[in-house]
Structure 1
Amino acid sequence: MLVALPRFQMLRLLGVLLPTLVAGLNARSVISSCEAIENAVSSASEVYWPLSIEYAEDIEHWASSSTDLATCSVEPGTTDDLGTILQILGSNQTPFAVKGGGHATNPGFSSTTGVQIAMSRFSEVAYDATTQTVDVGAGLIWDDVYAALEPLGVNVVGGRVSGVGVAGFSLGGGYSWLTNQYGLTVDNIIAYQLVLPNGTAIVVDSSVPDLLFALKGGYNNFGIVTRFTFKAVPQGQVWGGLITFTENELDAVNAATANFAESVTDPKAQIITTYNFLLGEPGVSQLLFYNAPTPPDGIFDEFLDIPYFTKDISTRSFVSLVQASPSNITGGTRGVFNTVSILSYDANILTAVLNETVFWGSRLSLLDTAVFISYDVEPFMTTLFSKAPASSAAYPPSRAQGLLPLNIYFAWLLPTSDETMQQSAVLSAQQLTNAAVADGQDVADASLYGNYAIAGTPVERIFGDNLDQLTATKQKYDPSNVMGLAGGWKVPV
């Protein structure tokens, strides 16, 4: 006998079945895992199904191309519940993903058609004045952290633009406005609260040296981090913000950027010079930063003397400066990152970057729905890796010389352009690597920053000689490869 289901039940059934059917997964198996989680977790946690507002928020990503239709989403509220969830997923071999801030651009790295774990309920920011440390929940974005710490006069070494998640950023390395002074983000983490694949929650600190090393740049291979404990650093008002320049000023911007990169040795001073192709022409978004209310004379004068299109420079709070540069000005478009590693940003490299901006901007905006082409030039002092011991972190795999990241970012509208955009980002990175090698820089096989690297990059390029050590740690703490059911930069078992 056929039974007519109420409309809301039919919609829920359709919403549940569609993602798994489209992905070719065993729909009943994944739904069973969702139901098992729903029945097993406490009231501190919640499972959500398609067509609910909470589900939509849980699966949403900064780049729409990184949003998958999960079979269900779950918001764990305690480490015990998260341990139960991992045990169910591992036992059933159910694909899953872990989303912190949702800023990953590689599809499937923090999204899935299986079970989406959203870490939003882990949202604490707690400063301990005695130990000079800050506990930060894995579900936050950096804006939240900076805003909470501002009244306390302290800060942590975190992200530089608005909207970036704490978890993925911190598990991958972390380049900060404070890096010249204090090192990478991983150099300033002293402990993690980690839920192991077997469901056990532990604190990982110096008493667990193999896991502490692995989590500092080793991503989601060893369990799920719910809390980071950072060293606190003093923080008052800063100076800086965003200036934009039009095409006719690009030669002057190139010269100013090269001079800054080659001559400025004040660790409180940093810039990001972003070459953009938008609305049919190139331009630059120039971020300036000084970690004090007023910079010394001369450091930024060359930039400030260039005629500008817009200018938002002032003495301000740290969070205000970060929010002066939103991480997505194109609003929910599809997107891809890729990267090259640079030893120095001289005039030859900057000319090559500008040429790439114009070439790909002109080419991809005509037929392939590109709306924004961007190359982020990020000069740091060459001593940026010297703030921590050589063997202290999975990333960088070598601290023998400082590597300066360059981020390639393409944004577009339609899924039909996905393959073209991915391939173009690969070709552009290779072209810039070739330009750096021709410039005398030994970077052909240099390690790459995983938070910028495109999917398909060999993990050896990210972890280098540390890969064997990470593999041994993986075999020790996740021998059944539960975390292999999630996407990301995967260490072999």
Structure 2
Amino acid sequence: MRRSLATASLLASSLLSLVSAESLLLEARAQYTSTCSEIEQAISNVSALHWPYLGLNAAYQKDIGHWAVSSTAQAACSVEPGSAEDVGKILQILGKNKTPFAVKGGGHASNPGFSSTEGVQIAMYRFSDVKYSLDNQTAEVGSGLIWDEVYAALEPYAVNVVGGRVTGVGMAGFTLGGGYSWKTNQYGLTVDTIAGFELVLPDGTVAQVSQDSYPDLFWGLKGGFNNFGIVTKFILKTHYQTQVWGGIITITQENLEAVNNATVKFSQTVTDPKAAVLPTYNFLLDAPGVSLLLFYDYPTAPAGIFDDFLAIPYFTKDVKTRTFLDLVGAAPSNATSGTRCIFHTVSLEQYTPTIMDAVLNETKFWGEYLSLRSGTFISYDVEPFLPSIFSHGASNSSAYPPSRATGLLPLNIYYAYTAEVDDDTFYDAARQSAARLAAVAQGEGQDIADAPLYGNYAMFDTPLERIYGANVDGLRAVRERYDPEGVMALAGGFKF
């Protein structure tokens, strides 16, 4: 009898907890809906707010949609601001009501909740202008664009900017995180080429941010993501652009040792800043292989630089003289669009035979293991750059990297899968694989134990200190100065 009463009491308690949780959820949703209505009344006719309508609203679905399903959330509403002033109104309402929100540029965030929310989804699509200034040699670029669109707009002027390497990547998050590019060996990270920002501060003020006007914000925005407000425009330095040489080669498993050897030789001997390679080691269709991207920033490549790669037997090959836009379009980032995904990363000082063997072993091991747990695409992106890549900016000229003493090479771990129930399995696998590769590098004497990780690749639970090092306190001070009420803390991402 006592046991029955105890069981009944436990069941009643559980039911009350469920009812209470459901009640809180409904209360929160009602508050979010109220905020949506307030925003709808406040914005001008250059902006638009969209409601879910039982999932039948195409504009709403576009606004909340992301490249990875795991980065999409069902927001109470979505809003597409069309002016900086309307962004200011939206932020003021969100801050007053303490409503969670998210800011989406191109929708390529890999971390869940970083640019999605159950509150108010802000989609920046309407900030889509590209204006080239011949006098200033700069391009003013709207924050709702993907890099393909930026390159297409600049192509008629025979100029380019330092941006993404593959198709479909949003320019805003990429830039605010740092930005590794095909042109990084020549000009540095994307943050090293920024001349200014148009930023809507949390209090609604529209600020034109430059080194002269707001030096602290200018520093913090270069790598500090969405901690200080919402960027509506970027002003980027431009460079003359010819046609380029390059493309993609796919190579099957029996020739991967040759890819390893060619990659090590390239990374240790090629010093031409116009040359770059990006071998991605993929486990797909039950076997490892490599998608090899080659790039030279001129219509023809000098003899010798890529010979070892070109001598490897291949499955497919698309390498030629082409426009920069065409080269980027030949390398899809969205090959696994519609699946769940997670990124993580390791920072290296150099690529060695031992490191490359470890990359191939990780590809095989986790590819075989995770394919049994709804894994569809297991990938390791090897990114050799010159050791001088951080020298294009002055010491501590940006939030990331926190130190420019040593150029670091980001290795991107990228897993795609289908089942939500497997989230933790894939997160844990990415952590273990990153730790393993870091241990191999340290075993060879690479001083990377505390090397900063690239924020655009780092997993959501990466400590701020591992991305920003000694800059964390300074970034917190900037955040406190411009967002004392913590409005931007209502959005996802790495927060100060």
Which segment drifts farther, 389-398 or 22-31? 22-31
Equivalents in 2 of 1:319, 1:41: separation in Å?
36
Partner of residue 349 from structure 1, selected from 349, 355, 358 = 355
* Counterpart in the other structure of 1:385: 390
1:25, CA displacement in angstroms? 6.1
Is 1:221 the equivalent of 2:189?
no
1:348, CA displacement in angstroms? 0.7
1:330, CA displacement in angstroms? 2.1
* Counterpart in the other structure of 2:114: 109
In structure 2, the CA distance between the partners of 1:359 and 1:387, relative to structure 1 (3 Å rule), is same
In structure 2, the CA distance between the partners of 1:23 and 1:220, relative to structure 1 (3 Å rule), is farther
1:444, CA displacement in angstroms? 1.2
1:129, CA displacement in angstroms? 0.2
Equivalents in 2 of 1:235, 1:476: separation in Å?
40
Equivalents in 1 of 2:103, 2:162: separation in Å?
23
Partner of residue 329 from structure 1, selected from 335, 344, 348 = 335
The answer to whether the 8 A contact 1:21-1:27 is kept is: no
Equivalents in 1 of 2:26, 2:356: separation in Å?
45
* Counterpart in the other structure of 1:413: 418
Equivalents in 1 of 2:252, 2:461: separation in Å?
35
* Counterpart in the other structure of 1:74: 79
Partner of residue 245 from structure 2, selected from 216, 227, 239 = 239
Is 1:257 the equivalent of 2:263?
yes
* Counterpart in the other structure of 2:282: 276
Amino acid at match of 1:44: V
* Counterpart in the other structure of 1:8: none
Specify the SS of the correspondent of 2:88: helix
Equivalents in 2 of 1:126, 1:350: separation in Å?
42
Specify the SS of the correspondent of 1:225: strand
* Counterpart in the other structure of 1:32: 34
Partner of residue 484 from structure 2, selected from 476, 479, 487 = 479
1:23, CA displacement in angstroms? 6.0
1:331, CA displacement in angstroms? 2.8
Specify the SS of the correspondent of 2:181: coil
Q: TM-score, normalised by structure 1?
A: 0.95
Unpaired runs of at least 5, structure 2 = 1-21
Equivalents in 2 of 1:142, 1:25: separation in Å?
40
* Counterpart in the other structure of 1:56: 61
Specify the SS of the correspondent of 1:313: strand
Equivalents in 2 of 1:35, 1:21: separation in Å?
21
The answer to whether the 8 A contact 1:63-1:103 is kept is: yes
Q: TM-score, normalised by structure 2?
A: 0.94
1:420, CA displacement in angstroms? 0.5
Partner of residue 193 from structure 1, selected from 189, 195, 198 = 198
Q: Deviations over 1:379-418 (max 9, x none)?
A: 0000000001012100000000000000000000111111
1:328, CA displacement in angstroms? 1.9
* Counterpart in the other structure of 2:454: 449
Equivalents in 2 of 1:272, 1:21: separation in Å?
51
Equivalents in 1 of 2:190, 2:253: separation in Å?
35
Equivalents in 1 of 2:90, 2:166: separation in Å?
32
Equivalents in 2 of 1:125, 1:377: separation in Å?
31
* Counterpart in the other structure of 1:11: none
1:348-367 alignment to 2 at 5 Å? 348-366=354-372
Specify the SS of the correspondent of 2:460: coil
Is 1:203 the equivalent of 2:205?
no
Equivalents in 2 of 1:393, 1:25: separation in Å?
41
1:365, CA displacement in angstroms? 0.3
Amino acid at match of 2:252: T
Equivalents in 1 of 2:25, 2:431: separation in Å?
26
Equivalents in 2 of 1:300, 1:157: separation in Å?
22
Is 1:398 the equivalent of 2:403?
yes
Specify the SS of the correspondent of 1:26: helix
Q: Deviations over 1:8-59 (max 9, x none)?
A: xxxxxxxxxxxx9896661111101000000010000111011311000000
* Counterpart in the other structure of 1:163: 168
Amino acid at match of 1:88: I
In structure 2, the CA distance between the partners of 1:120 and 1:365, relative to structure 1 (3 Å rule), is same
Specify the SS of the correspondent of 2:325: helix
The answer to whether the 8 A contact 1:163-1:326 is kept is: yes
* Counterpart in the other structure of 2:435: 430
Which segment drifts farther, 465-474 or 373-382? 465-474
User: How many residues in Structure 1 have an aligned counterpart in Structure 2?
Assistant: 471
Equivalents in 1 of 2:474, 2:286: separation in Å?
48
Equivalents in 2 of 1:380, 1:79: separation in Å?
37
Equivalents in 2 of 1:460, 1:46: separation in Å?
38
Equivalents in 2 of 1:24, 1:176: separation in Å?
45
In structure 2, the CA distance between the partners of 1:309 and 1:21, relative to structure 1 (3 Å rule), is farther
Equivalents in 2 of 1:419, 1:467: separation in Å?
28
Specify the SS of the correspondent of 2:473: helix
Equivalents in 1 of 2:387, 2:432: separation in Å?
27
Equivalents in 1 of 2:414, 2:23: separation in Å?
32
Equivalents in 1 of 2:433, 2:334: separation in Å?
21
Amino acid at match of 1:250: L
Amino acid at match of 1:487: G
The answer to whether the 8 A contact 1:23-1:113 is kept is: no
Q: Deviations over 1:71-123 (max 9, x none)?
A: 00000000111100000000000000000000001000000000000000000
Amino acid at match of 2:203: N
* Counterpart in the other structure of 2:15: none
Which segment drifts farther, 374-383 or 439-448? 439-448
Amino acid at match of 1:459: L
Equivalents in 1 of 2:190, 2:338: separation in Å?
27
Unpaired runs of at least 5, structure 1 = 1-19
Equivalents in 1 of 2:172, 2:268: separation in Å?
33
In structure 2, the CA distance between the partners of 1:248 and 1:75, relative to structure 1 (3 Å rule), is same
